[in-house]
Amino acid sequence: QGVSLAQGAQVYGALYALRSRPLLWVHGDADDVIRRQDAGLWFHLLRSARWQAYRVRGGVHVRSAQTDPEGVRAAMRGLLASL
């Protein structure tokens, strides 16, 4: 399935605008909308010192927090502690 080039460009532009803000990048490795390789590429191209990433094993698109609520909470606490 995946994301079209136009959709990818929109996402990239929106993420670029967030580079100065703290951000927790949560991505499920079973996401069938945004492939893990694409998410990883975007993160590495765009990342700033204020960004942190958390990969959810078995997480699907927009359901990662439900798949691993404790892991996502811990990652969020880590991001907040870094501020």
State the pTM of this model: 0.83
73 by DSSP, 3-state: which? Answer: helix
Counting residues of the chain whose pLDDT is more than 90, the rounded percentage is: 69
DSSP character at residue 66: H
47-72: pLDDT as tens digits = 899 999 999 999 999 999 999 999 99
